[in-house]
């Protein structure tokens, strides 16, 4: 089947061209959903850090004043912090559960990205079988050879995989770091996403331009 199409015309794309254009739209939608999840996760991560920093001094005080509180009777000031600890623990556990849920959603999204990247490698293998090593005579869209779609998807997937690994690491660290400065480093790493950098965003924009989603 001839899959050459006129770029930019809606409704006449078939085969590999249709799949590649749909994948480009999916990459865009995934990036938007990821950013929303990242913002939600940042809010929960901030609450976790605040709860930890509130909880730790109380814990130290209760340990230091433990002997005195048993001798001073119910009117001792240590009773207040002690009574607040179970509530702090429940709040912390709740926020950690919410953050874990967000990281699991991100992991599910990365698994979908892996399937997209795999499908594009399959398209490249199909073209190699149909047209040989030189590939098709004319590009499916504007200028990119089909192999470039697979390369871009692979690079984007790598960015999100690394960012997911960082998120999973931070998930285990945030609730166990009483050092305020270190906590701020972790929060910044979560919010600013070092692996999804400007280069990744340019790759996505190039993909959208090539497939006609951007004009």
pLDDT tens for each residue of the chain, 215 residues long: 333 333 444 457 779 999 999 999 999 999 999 999 999 999 999 999 999 998 765 444 333 334 444 444 444 444 444 446 788 899 999 999 999 999 999 999 999 999 999 999 999 999 989 888 777 889 999 999 999 999 999 999 999 999 999 999 999 999 999 999 999 999 999 999 999 999 999 999 999 999 999 98
Domain count within the chain: 1
Q: Is residue 46 part of a domain?
A: yes
10 Å CB burial of residue 114 (0-12, 13-18, 19+) is middle
Q: Is residue 2 part of a domain?
A: no
Q: Is residue 105 part of a domain?
A: yes
Q: Is residue 54 part of a domain?
A: yes
Q: Is residue 58 part of a domain?
A: yes
Please give the span between the terminal C-alpha atoms of the chain, in angstroms, as a whole number: 29
pTM of the model: 0.81
Q: Is residue 168 part of a domain?
A: yes
Q: Which domain holds residue 58?
A: 15-210
Q: Is residue 215 part of a domain?
A: no
Q: Is residue 7 part of a domain?
A: no
- What distance in Å separates the CA atoms of residue 103 and residue 179, rounded to the nearest whole number? 23
């Amino acid at each position: 089947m001839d899959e050459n199409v006129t770029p930019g015309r809606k409704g006449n794309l078939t085969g590999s061209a249709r799949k590649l254009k749909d994948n480009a739209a999916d990459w865009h939608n995934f990036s938007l959903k990821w950013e929303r999840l990242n913002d939600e996760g940042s809010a929960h991560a901030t609450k976790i850090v605040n709860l930890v920093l509130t909880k730790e001094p109380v814990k130290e005080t209760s340990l230091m004043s433990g002997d005195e509180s048993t001798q001073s009777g119910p009117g001792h000031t240590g009773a207040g912090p002690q009574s607040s600890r179970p509530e702090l623990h429940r709040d912390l556990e709740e926020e950690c559960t919410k953050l874990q849920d967000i990281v699991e959603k991100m992991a599910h999204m990365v698994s979908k990205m892996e399937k997209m990247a795999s499908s594009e490698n399959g398209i490249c293998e199909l073209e190699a079988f149909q047209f040989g090593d030189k590939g098709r005579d004319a590009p499916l869209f504007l200028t990119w050879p089909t192999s470039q779609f697979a390369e871009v998807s692979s690079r984007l997937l790598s960015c999100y995989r690394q960012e997911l690994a960082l998120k999973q690491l931070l998930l285990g660290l945030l609730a166990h770091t009483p050092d305020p400065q270190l906590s701020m480093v972790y929060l910044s790493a979560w919010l600013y996403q070092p692996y999804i950098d400007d280069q990744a965003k340019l790759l996505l924009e190039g993909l959208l331009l090539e497939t006609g989603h951007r004009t």
